[in-house]
Structure 1
Amino acid sequence: MSDQTVPGSKAWRTDQLTSVRAFAERSALHSGGFGWLDPSGDVDESRGLELWINARMTYVFSLASLLDRRPHPLAEHGVRALTGPFADAEHGGWFQSVTSAHEPASTTKGCYEHAFVILAASTARTAGVGGADALLESALDVHERRFWDEAAGRCRESWNADWSEPESYRGANSNMHTVEAYLAAADVTGDRVWRDRALSICERIINRAARANGWRIPEHFDADWNVVLDYNTDVPADAFRPYGATPGHGFEWSRLLLELEAALDDPPAWLVDAAVSLFEVAVRDGSVDDTLVYTTGWDGKPVVRERFHWVMAEAVAAADALARRTNGSIGPAEANRWYGAIDEHFVDRVTGSWHHELDDTLQVSARTWPGKPDAYHIVNAMLLPDAPLAVSLARSLT
């Protein structure tokens, strides 16, 4: 068996990265921005343009610019989309989605999507992409003024178009991606306030709420940050706000805690302990054979048994980070098992990329994720094992 066929090896990951990049390039639209890719890699014309996808694609192609040591044309293509049709020239910030004619479709201003604008802009600036400096300055300003809540030490969830009506819901998912975005922003700006705020978010959502809940992360809160454990019991497979615990987020938070610890000058000891606990609970609750379910109840038993590509990607990334941080005492066995499952069940060698969702019999499903719109999780998982924990992925490639 050649190294290129060994799941998880450097050669295997490079091969996957090349395949996913080529597949993702097909999302670029001549009219601007990036569309939603169907299972075959064609743009789904029935859908408009989503801000989170466009920010993620801008991030992916900005990383490609750093990897190739030359500008990738789709990185600037993405920056133009973020500074063009998605930008609200009247009220500031970015629309959640726009139509194929570049008219606003959803005028909600969400923390989740705005965090990805920061991540994209930070990475594009590191890669020297035209227009990225102004985009990052605007994105950080909007996030600080509209989403960061100093009194709560966490971020608000969303607003209406003119910022007059905040949503009463608060969510862990948007705050988790804000941690990632703030760490990237700290790297590129040199301003430690972003790391301090990332630590504040982690302290409250993980060290307090998750610890008190047996390391099953409460995902949903009310406006006063009271935990709402029965949120969305009637739509348990929601793509962004599912009921119950999400093992994939346990892995994602675990990795982010280790990256935060490495980035801080004087990190608190609980960061590593929490990273280990989150990982162990996610493994125990989420594992079905060599794959991982989407959600579990608060008793740790599976609720939504579909297997998602992003959960597997975050699992191997967390396992690798923990293996390095613990000198191999935690993570290697799990990573090997999961890489094998990814190679066997998720990698699509016919049309490209990875299947985004499998059902409980490991057949391709579309209950929650039709098509293959995402490249971000795969690209991260393929690159992070070669990057130091202390800096953002973009900085590690400079």
Structure 2
Amino acid sequence: MYKVHCMNVIDQAGTDKLGDGYELTERLEDADAVLVRSASMHDLELPEKLKAIARAGAGVNNIPLEECAKKGIVVFNTPGANANGVKELVLAGMLLAARDISGGIQWVHENAGDPDISKKTEKSKKGFAGTEIGGKTLGVIGLGAIGVLVANAARNLGMKVLGYDPYISVEGAWNLDHHVRRVNDLDALLEESDYITIHVPAMDSTNGMIDADTIAKMKDGVVFLNFARDLLVDEKAMAAALESGKVGHYVSDFPNALSVTMKNAIVVPHLGASTEEAEVNCAVMAAKEIRRYLEEGNIINSVNFPKVDLGPVKSEGRIAIFHKNIPNMIGQISTTLSSNGVNIANLSNKSKGEFAYSLIDVESHMDEEILGKLAAIEGVYRIRKIQ
């Protein structure tokens, strides 16, 4: 029986997917796996028996990835599960910035008691006039699951679209509307775009990538949308650009002490993935990832270990080995198995940075003595006997 701890409320559609052989536990120290959304895990003592963490969402900056990797704890996320919800909010953000809808609604509320509000509306509405997004140029930084959907939707709304992503996946390239013009130089996108939206993960290489120098290259009056991570934008530089008029509007999904006080900022209370559909999709995908890993050892959508998939277990047994990505590890593992009379039926070894994962199907029973010999190999972090 596997035990799963939910650190946040996880939609029941996801926990129902765990099925027989699983039970939910209130105690982290008893958990084989964790389902989490936004709760921070950086200051937690991770239990020895913990094998996997699944983030019901895309961002994983609330999880200590390297510590987990060294303990052989696989961290999953759910890329694409909330993409449509975020895409729709990005489109709404563009429309809010193009047309003073919020100001108009506020004016209506303020004048709700005026019996002549219909007449006054016709005189006052010109104060809320805006522009149309059709025919304007949208620059999309990052063409992952969300960026591709935004780019394609913008094309369908009659916008010209530029896309920048030096690491675009084959799947992303196939799904991208062929009218989207991909640029290899970020500066070209910055200079040509009337609207810019960013969809990249927050990491050392991207944090603060939208700074004073980047903003200086943008069109005067540009609208910048950030529904990815607040860390991607130097918000002091953005505040200065809004004050000067260099940036017309900053649309952000991340309220903080600075963003909520910026001139011409439209700040949404982190609603990007807050739809019923997105929460269900993320929860279901996270639960399926946990099951495939715990029951079969297969890793899909991990952020700290490579993708390895041998399908269902069909041999006598299967073992999973977490180890350093160093020379001769496979040789040592194979030698240890063969010298103990264990034949390898199938093997997959993949690496991700300094960490590697080997999934091995064997044709004979694996006892604790053999597992102990494998665990004693220098550079091995963890051994799991799947079956």
TM-score range, shorter chain: under 0.3
Q: What is the TM-score when the length of structure 1 is the normalising length?
A: 0.26
TM-score normalised by the chain length of structure 2: 0.26
Between structures 1 and 2, the one with greater helix share: 1
